[in-house]
C-alpha cells in the first residue's frame, strides 16, 4: 500500500513509481528521474532483486548496501526523495538508497581569481566533488567535514570543513551556531550565507572570503580557518578573514619574496589612489590649489576653462560613466561586454572632453581610478573600495583636503573596529600569525 505522504508528489511527471516482480515477491521503487541516476538504481536495486530468492534475503542485500538506510516513518519519504534518494517499499518497510546524479561535478577554470603560475582549475558546483578536491590536496586525517542542510525549502547540502588540530574552537562554535540559526527559504551561494550569518546588515567591508580557488582554500585550511562548501555554486566561504587576506593574491605564494612584497605594496598604493584621487581632485581644484606647483595649477585651470560645472559635478559625471561601463562589462556576454567597454571608454571619454563637460585632467584621473581599483584581487573588497570614494568626494566638496583627511581617518577607525568572528579585522602583512598570513617565516 502506497504511503499517503507520496500523494503530493504524483503531480510531477518526473516522479516515477515502478513495481518490480521477480515471481516470488514484489517491491515498489519511488524516485525522481530528474534527480536520480537510473544506472545506479538498476545496479543497486533491480539486479539484486532479480536474483533474491525471498523478501528476507533482499532485506539483507539492502541492509548491506553502504548508501541504503531504513526510514523510521512515512513522513521522511518526500524529503528523502527530494534529496536524490530512491525509496524502496518492501512489505511494510521503506528503505532509501542514495542514487543522486550530480548536476555539474566537473571542476571549471578559474575566472574570478586568475594566476599566472599557479593552478588554473576552480571548484565545481557539486559539493561532494569540491570536498574530494580538498581531501586530495589536504590528505590529513584531522580534516573534518560536517554536513548541514541550509534553507527551509531548498535544503541545500553544505559542508563545514576544518582541520581539527588547528581550528580556533571559539570561532568554530560561533560559526556552527550561526549556521544552525539561518532562517531563509532558499540558500544558493556563499555571499548570501555571509549576509545571513552577519549580525549587522549595514556592513561596508567583507569579513569573510568568497573564493573559487582550491589552492587558496587549502592554504587557509592549513592556517586554521574554516571553509563552508555549498552545493550548486563553485564558490566557497572562508572564515575568519582579515583585511590583508583581501589584498593578497595566490601569486604571492608562487613568486619570490621581493616580487611578492613589491606586488603587495603596489596593491596598497592602488587602493589609496582609487579611494582618494577623485576627492583630492575636487579638493585641489575647489579649495587648495596652493599645494601644487604654479605651473601645474595654471595648466589644470586651463584644462577646466571650458567646463561650466563645479569640480564636484564634473567628477560625478565621469565616475557615473565609468561605474556604468564596469557594470555593463560584468553583466553583458563576454564578447559584447569587452566591445561595449572599449567603445564606451574611448568614445565617451573623448566626446565628453571635447564637449566641455569634463577636463582632460579629469579623464586621466578617472582612468587611474578605474585601473587602480582592478589591482585589488578579491572582488568583494574591490566593490567595497569602489563605494568608499564617494563619501570622500562629498567631504572634499565641503571642506577640501581637510575633509579628505578626516574621511580617511574615519574609514580607518571603522575598519579597525571591525572583527571577523572575534578576530581583529584590520591587520597588515607585517608579522602576521599563521591564521591570517601567507608566508609566516618570511615576515620575521
d(Cα 308, Cα 148) in Å, to the nearest integer?
60
Residue 74 maps to a domain: yes
Residue 228 has pLDDT above 90, yes or no: yes
If pLDDT is split at 50, 70 and 90, which confidence band does 395 have? very high
Residue 199 predicted with pLDDT over 80:
no
The per-type count for the chain, helices as H runs and strands as E runs, is 18, 12
> How does the average pLDDT of the chain come out, rounded?
83
Same domain for 89 and 215? no
pLDDT for 64 beyond 80: no
Q: Around Cβ 362, how many Cβ atoms within 10 Å? A: 26
- Give the residue-averaged pLDDT of 40-59: 84
Could you give the 3-state DSSP secondary structure of residue 95? strand
User: Among 107-116, 146-155, 212-221, where is mean pLDDT lowest?
Assistant: 107-116
Q: How many domains does the chain have?
A: 3
Same domain, 384 and 322: yes
In a domain, 210, yes or no: yes
107 located within any domain: no
Tell me whether residue 298 is in a domain: yes
Mean pLDDT throughout 322-335?
A: 78
Confidence at 71, pLDDT banded by 50, 70, 90: confident
Say if residue 259 is in the same domain as residue 406.
yes
Question: Of the residues 241, 272, 293, which one is the last residue of a structural domain?
Answer: 241
pTM for the model stands at 0.79
In a domain, 193, yes or no: yes
Answer yes or no: do 84 and 144 share one domain. no
Q: What is the pLDDT of residues 243-296, one digit of tens each?
A: 888 888 888 888 888 888 898 899 999 999 999 999 999 998 888 888 888 888
Q: Mean pLDDT over residues 162-170, rounded?
A: 90
93 and 218 within one domain: no
**Pair (328, 416) in one structural domain:** yes
Same domain, 158 and 306: no
Query: Does 392 lie in the same domain as 302?
Result: yes
Lowest average pLDDT, out of 84-88, 286-290, 339-343, goes to 339-343
Domain-embedded: residue 106: no
> Grid coordinates in use for 146?
560536517
Residues 219 and 188 in one domain: yes
Q: Please report whether residue 153 resides in a domain.
A: yes
The CB density around residue 200, as the number of other CB atoms within 10 Å, is 5
What pLDDT band is residue 299 in, cutting at 50, 70 and 90? confident
Q: What percent of the chain has pLDDT over 70?
A: 90
Domain identity same for 268 and 235:
no
User: Do 262 and 382 belong to one domain?
Assistant: yes
Overall average pLDDT of the 33-61 stretch: 84
Q: What's the rounded Cα separation, in Å, for the pair 373 and 388? A: 11
**pLDDT at residue 1 tops 60:** no
Q: How confident is the model at residue 411 (pLDDT cuts 50, 70, 90)?
A: very high
Going by C-beta distance under 8 Å and a sequence separation of 6 or more, which residues neighbour residue 80?
Answer: 71, 87, 96
Mean pLDDT of 123-147: 88
Is 299 domain-assigned? yes
Three-state SS at 116: coil
- Expressed as residue numbers, the domain containing 76 is 2-98
> Are residues 157 and 235 both part of a single domain?
yes
Amino acid at each position: 500500500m502506497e504511503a499517503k505522504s507520496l500523494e503530493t508528489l504524483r503531480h510531477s511527471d518526473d516522479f516515477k513509481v515502478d513495481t518490480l516482480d521477480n515471481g516470488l515477491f514484489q517491491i515498489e521503487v519511488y524516485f525522481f528521474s530528474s534527480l536520480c541516476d537510473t544506472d545506479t538504481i538498476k545496479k543497486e536495486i533491480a539486479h539484486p532483486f532479480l536474483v533474491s530468492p525471498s523478501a528476507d534475503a533482499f532485506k539483507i542485500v539492502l541492509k548491506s548496501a553502504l548508501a541504503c538506510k531504513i526510514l523510521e516513518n512515512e513522513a521522511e519519504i518526500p524529503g528523502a526523495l527530494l534529496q536524490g534518494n530512491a525509496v524502496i517499499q518492501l512489505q511494510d518497510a521503506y528503505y532509501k538508497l542514495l542514487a543522486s546524479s550530480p548536476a555539474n561535478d566537473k571542476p571549471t577554470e578559474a575566472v574570478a581569481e586568475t594566476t599566472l603560475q599557479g593552478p588554473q582549475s576552480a571548484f565545481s558546483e557539486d559539493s561532494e566533488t569540491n570536498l574530494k578536491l580538498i581531501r586530495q590536496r589536504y590528505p590529513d586525517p584531522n580534516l573534518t567535514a560536517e554536513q548541514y542542510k541550509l534553507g527551509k525549502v531548498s535544503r541545500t547540502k553544505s559542508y563545514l570543513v576544518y582541520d581539527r588540530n588547528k581550528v580556533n574552537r571559539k570561532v568554530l562554535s560561533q560559526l556552527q551556531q550561526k549556521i544552525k540559526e539561518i532562517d531563509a527559504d532558499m540558500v544558493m551561494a556563499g555571499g548570501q550565507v555571509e549576509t545571513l550569518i552577519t549580525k549587522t546588515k549595514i556592513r561596508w567591508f567583507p569579513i569573510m572570503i568568497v573564493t573559487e580557488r582550491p589552492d587558496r582554500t587549502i592554504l587557509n585550511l592549513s592556517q586554521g580557518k574554516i571553509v563552508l562548501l555549498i552545493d550548486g555554486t563553485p564558490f566557497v566561504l572562508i572564515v575568519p578573514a582579515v583585511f590583508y587576506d583581501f589584498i593578497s593574491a595566490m601569486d604571492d605564494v608562487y613568486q619570490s619574496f621581493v616580487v611578492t612584497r613589491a606586488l603587495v605594496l603596489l596593491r596598497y598604493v592602488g587602493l589609496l589612489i582609487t579611494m582618494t584621487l577623485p576627492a583630492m581632485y575636487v579638493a585641489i581644484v575647489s579649495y587648495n590649489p596652493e599645494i601644487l606647483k604654479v605651473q601645474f595649477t595654471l595648466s589644470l585651470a586651463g584644462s577646466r576653462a571650458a567646463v561650466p560645472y563645479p569640480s564636484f559635478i564634473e567628477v560625478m559625471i565621469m565616475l557615473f560613466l565609468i561605474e556604468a561601463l564596469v557594470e555593463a562589462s560584468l553583466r553583458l556576454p563576454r564578447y559584447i561586454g569587452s566591445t561595449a567597454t572599449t567603445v564606451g571608454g574611448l568614445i565617451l571619454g573623448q566626446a565628453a572632453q571635447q564637449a566641455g563637460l569634463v577636463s582632460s585632467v579629469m579623464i586621466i584621473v578617472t582612468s587611474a581610478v578605474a585601473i587602480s581599483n582592478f589591482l585589488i584581487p578579491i572582488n568583494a573588497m574591490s566593490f567595497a573600495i569602489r563605494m568608499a570614494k564617494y563619501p570622500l568626494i562629498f567631504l572634499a566638496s565641503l571642506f577640501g583636503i581637510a575633509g579628505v583627511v578626516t574621511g580617511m581617518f574615519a574609514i580607518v577607525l571603522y575598519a579597525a573596529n571591525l572583527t571577523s568572528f572575534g578576530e581583529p579585522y584590520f591587520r597588515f602583512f607585517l608579522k602576521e600569525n599563521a591564521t591570517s598570513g601567507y608566508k609566516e617565516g618570511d615576515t620575521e
